[in-house]
Structure 1
Amino acid sequence: MAECGTWSAYCAGCHCLRCDEAQYQYKTRYRFDLARGLTRQVENGPVTEHLKKLHEEGWSDEQIAASCGVSLPTVTAHRLGLHPRIQRTIADQLLSATPTPGNVSATSKVRGLGSTRRARALVAIGHSLNTLTRETRLARSTVGRVTSGCSSWIAAETAQVVAETYERMSGTLGASDRSRAYAQRNGWAPPLAWDDIDDPNEVPDFGEEVPAYVANVENYKELARIQGYSQEAAAARLGISLSQLKWQIAHYNKKNAA
């Protein structure tokens, strides 16, 4: 039953003073919108395309509905294109739907690719699995599965924890040379190699074919200029020690001064 004092209640047959006032306000807004050339309904095509794209990325109708506050049946109907037109307000909500591990049910499943890349990036800058286990407070077996990439789908709650840990630790160099060497052997990219770490089509940028010290120094300069990074923070993002970066800067300056 629609709530009294609303347009829906008026349409359902209630003609009390509050519902009559709601009907009057609705009609007034409707005439005002028509005078401005605005319609209450729009073509459903862009909405259907947006929902299909989210579905192809692995998001369920339930997760999309939770992220934008629209009912599940409405999401499903418009993803399938069952209606040629849609209310403008609902269209705006659906087009703004951007499900993330943080705004869907903690127990629902999300793609594990972004979490795997984040865990591997942290290993690439020297954080061991034991460190990641301690910092995430997840079971070591869970951290191992995420890092290995053997789980294509993981709990949204796990993905959120990994993302928060990555944001906190990606600017700090870890203490494990063994982890760095393991990541290098397996081609795991450090944080700086990613632009959009969640984009399944993105390929990590390891830099141009130039000497490693040149790439590191030029990346450091860019980090310092644009984001105000210190040498220590930049070294952590680059996956090298502070002493290595200082030596490379000195060597770079000497070469360019010659």
Structure 2
Amino acid sequence: MRDHLGNTLPAVRVCSDAQCERPATRRGLCPKHYMQHWTRMKMYGRWQSVYVPTDAAREHYTALLDAGMDRNQIARLTGISRSQLNHLLHARADRGNKPAARILRENQDKLLALTVPEPSQLWRYRAGGSPVDGTGTSRRLQGLVAPQSHLAQRLDIQPGNLTGAVHGRCDVSARFARKVAELFEELQLTPGPSSTATARARRLGWHPPLAWEEGTIDDPAAAPGAAEAVDPAGDVDAVAVDRGIAHARLWAATRSTERGALVRPAMTRAEKLAVVERLREEIPIGVLCRAVGTSDRQLPHGVDPQRMVDGEKLPTQKEAA
């Protein structure tokens, strides 16, 4: 539609009622049909406003700030504008000099979906250039037991710039912490390429990756466990393996755009390897490793991931058939 000067006019939404051609004002309805809809939903007890009080959102936003996150970071992760977040705590001159009293239900849901992080996990959420504690980064680099030049090449930095991070002498950027975590996830089950680096790590008392739990490696107060206790050549739980197999099959059959909604069951590294061994002839190895949360490069050479469970060896897919 154009005006008398030939300019294109913005499209006018029409009421969604089939018999009405009036302009829509609220929820796709004209004023008349909106009031009819409102009255009917009120009578049925099913009316739900698009706005909700800000109490829950304000409390959760304050908790996120107290945990160390900042407004820009929260806005980036939730998709809520910084001004809207700011109005949860600070007065609005155009609204009676008081903080916002209500918030869109959609925005509240987005905010509440953002989990309050532990202080040691802030590196996962902070902006790339923000400084974070380097404890977890140092433990991961030490655990990989590789020459510093090799690690620097994989991380695309100069070897000399890696010394402080390896020895835990400094904070690191959140971006660098995430890069190290990705490299650690990829190589943690792959033996180091240098016997010299292995001897040096043993001399300095550095702990191997299997000595750390995934949830505590970033905690400065956490102590390493015995590496033998989490040896990938250890026993596995048959129930956990069955759950992992069911999840892997479902994950492989699900569209890539819908896989984010699937929840991976908790499994140890040995159990993940057992799932891979059971399904490697049924599902492509790359897809299978992503489904269980490991990497095909993490599969140790010469180590059979099948283990004994309650005295019985887990059968392969071919044997089970």
Q: Does TM-score exceed 0.5, indicating one fold? A: yes
Q: Which residue of 1 aligns with 2:157?
A: 138
- Cα deviation, 1:48-103, whole Å, max 9, x if unaligned, reads 33333333343221111111111112223336693343221111122223698687
Question: Is 1:152 matched up with 2:171?
Answer: yes
Q: Which residue, out of 17, 21, 31, partners 2:24?
A: 21
How far the C-alpha of 1:170 sits from its partner, in A, is 1.6
Q: SS of the residue aligned with 1:86?
A: strand
Q: Which amino acid aligns with 2:271?
A: I
Question: Is 1:176 matched up with 2:194?
Answer: yes
Q: Which stretch of the first structure deviates more once superposed, 130-139 or 28-37?
A: 28-37
Kept in 1, the 8 Å contact 2:143–2:206? The answer is yes
CA-atom RMSD in angstroms: 4.5
The structure where helix makes up a greater share of residues is 1
Question: Is 1:72 matched up with 2:72?
Answer: no
How far the C-alpha of 1:166 sits from its partner, in A, is 1.8
Q: Are residues 205 and 46 of structure 1, via their aligned partners in 2, closer, same or farther at CA, if it must alter by over 3 Å?
A: farther
Q: SS of the residue aligned with 1:220?
A: coil
Question: Is 1:95 matched up with 2:95?
Answer: no
Q: Are residues 67 and 94 of structure 1, via their aligned partners in 2, closer, same or farther at CA, if it must alter by over 3 Å?
A: same
Question: Is 1:129 matched up with 2:148?
Answer: yes
Q: Which amino acid aligns with 1:76?
A: N
Q: SS of the residue aligned with 1:221?
A: coil
Q: Are residues 117 and 199 of structure 1, via their aligned partners in 2, closer, same or farther at CA, if it must alter by over 3 Å?
A: closer
Q: Which amino acid aligns with 1:55?
A: L
Q: Which stretch of the first structure deviates more once superposed, 132-141 or 18-27?
A: 18-27
Q: Are residues 21 and 42 of structure 1, via their aligned partners in 2, closer, same or farther at CA, if it must alter by over 3 Å?
A: closer
* Gap runs ≥5 in structure 1: 8-17, 250-258
Quick one: distance in 2 between partners of 1:200 and 1:49? 26
Q: Are residues 56 and 148 of structure 1, via their aligned partners in 2, closer, same or farther at CA, if it must alter by over 3 Å?
A: farther
Quick one: distance in 2 between partners of 1:19 and 1:183? 76
Q: Which residue of 2 aligns with 1:194?
A: 213
Q: SS of the residue aligned with 2:192?
A: coil
How far the C-alpha of 1:203 sits from its partner, in A, is 2.0
Q: Which amino acid aligns with 2:132?
A: R
* Gap runs ≥5 in structure 2: 1-8, 14-20, 92-98, 237-267, 277-293, 308-321
Q: Which residue of 2 aligns with 1:252?
A: none
Quick one: distance in 2 between partners of 1:186 and 1:220? 27
Return the TM-score normalized by structure 2.
0.52
How far the C-alpha of 1:189 sits from its partner, in A, is 4.1
Q: Are residues 49 and 139 of structure 1, via their aligned partners in 2, closer, same or farther at CA, if it must alter by over 3 Å?
A: farther
Tell which structure's C-alpha radius of gyration is larger.
2
Q: Which residue, out of 45, 63, 70, partners 1:60?
A: 70
Question: Is 1:221 matched up with 2:212?
Answer: no
Quick one: distance in 2 between partners of 1:23 and 1:216? 59
Quick one: distance in 2 between partners of 1:79 and 1:180? 53
How far the C-alpha of 1:204 sits from its partner, in A, is 4.3
Task: Report how many residues are paired.
Answer: 220
Quick one: distance in 2 between partners of 1:136 and 1:19? 60
Q: Which residue of 1 aligns with 2:289?
A: none
Q: Which has the higher contact order (CA 8 A, sep 6+)?
A: 1
Q: Are residues 224 and 93 of structure 1, via their aligned partners in 2, closer, same or farther at CA, if it must alter by over 3 Å?
A: closer
Kept in 2, the 8 Å contact 1:133–1:140? The answer is yes
